[in-house]
């Protein structure tokens, strides 16, 4: 792996994780790890270009249909692809189909860029994701195999103790906080060969006093009413939070954004 490489362009393919939910900016838009990463890369390279095709709620088949060919046609130096987890978290999921679509995406993207980056997505502690953990690990095994066959990089967020900490997740328990996204950006940054800016991104947060039983149950009730039940409703009816929404940053254009 080249040390402190010079990449001139980045295209991100994905869903809400790559769109940047819940790293909310004052204007109501989302930043997220891909924007932070692009900001860092742009600070090193004049006229650096960045596109983010991610849309919340997208399944891997939708990414293949709507994002993959666009990303490949841009022929950037770096493409990041994070997908399949929304499929794995649905009540009914054909993991064979998911693996096939992910394979198709990688086979189309890998030849169109200098460096393809895949991820083992983070998973916080708790009963909701625990139910789907076997599917997640099947997905990650497929990612590891594809990376080995196509020379892609894998960022292992699933194995990072810090990102399992509930304090790095938003109240919806599905999306990372700003600090969580910053750590993901650091992980990708280092995987691409840049010198570490935070050598301890995997290190868990310092321990704090655990909320009492009543506070935890109240938080569980709020989470169930505001986030879990609507999420289950969308899964059961085939709807998505991203229906009708455009790509976050659909064109590969010069980028001046957050580098923090």
Confidence of residue 227 (pLDDT cuts 50, 70, 90): very low
Phi/psi of residue 79, each to 5°? -125, 135
- Stated pTM of the model: 0.87
**Across 40-187, where does the E strand assignment appear?**
49-52, 78-81, 115-120, 153-156
pLDDT digit string, tens, across residues 96-154:
999 999 999 999 999 999 999 999 998 766 555 678 889 999 999 999 999 999 999 99
Region class of 20: left (phi > 0), else alpha (psi between -120 and 50), else beta: left
pLDDT digit string, tens, across residues 231-247:
556 555 665 565 678 99
- pLDDT of amino acid 70: 98
- Burial pattern 223-258, b for ≥16 Cβ within 10 A else e, equals beeebbeebeeebeeeebbbeeeebbbeebeebebb
Token couple for 36: 């932070």
CATH class, 9-210+246-254 region: alpha beta
- Residues with Cβ < 8 Å from 153, sequence gap 6 or more? 115, 116, 117, 118, 147, 191, 192
Mean pLDDT across the chain, nearest whole number?
Answer: 87
Strand partners, 155: 119
pLDDT digit string, tens, across residues 187-225:
999 999 999 999 999 998 877 656 666 655 655 555 554
């Amino acid at each position: 792996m080249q040390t402190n490489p010079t990449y001139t362009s980045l295209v991100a393919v994905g869903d809400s994780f790559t769109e940047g939910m819940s790293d909310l900016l004052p204007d109501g838009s989302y930043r997220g790890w891909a924007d932070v990463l692009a900001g860092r890369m742009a600070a090193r390279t004049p006229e650096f270009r960045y596109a983010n095709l991610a849309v919340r709620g997208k399944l891997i088949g939708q990414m293949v249909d709507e994002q993959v060919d666009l990303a490949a046609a841009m022929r950037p130096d770096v493409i990041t692809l994070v997908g399949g987890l929304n499929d794995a978290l649905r009540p009914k999921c054909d993991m064979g189909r998911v693996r096939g679509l992910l394979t198709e995406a990688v086979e189309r993207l890998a030849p169109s860029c200098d460096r393809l980056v895949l991820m083992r997505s983070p998973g916080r502690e708790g009963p909701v994701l625990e139910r789907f953990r076997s599917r997640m690990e099947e997905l990650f095994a497929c990612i590891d195999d594809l990376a080995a066959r196509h020379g892609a990089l894998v960022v292992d967020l699933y194995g990072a103790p810090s990102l399992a900490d509930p304090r790095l997740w938003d109240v919806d328990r599905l999306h990372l906080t700003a600090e969580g996204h910053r750590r993901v950006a650091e992980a990708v940054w280092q995987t691409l060969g840049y010198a570490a800016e935070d050598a301890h991104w995997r290190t868990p947060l310092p321990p704090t006093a655990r909320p009492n039983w009543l506070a935890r149950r109240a938080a569980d009730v709020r989470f169930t009413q505001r986030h879990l039940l609507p999420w289950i409703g969308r899964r059961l009816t085939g709807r998505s939070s991203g229906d009708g929404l455009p790509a976050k940053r659909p064109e590969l254009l010069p980028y001046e954004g957050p580098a923090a």
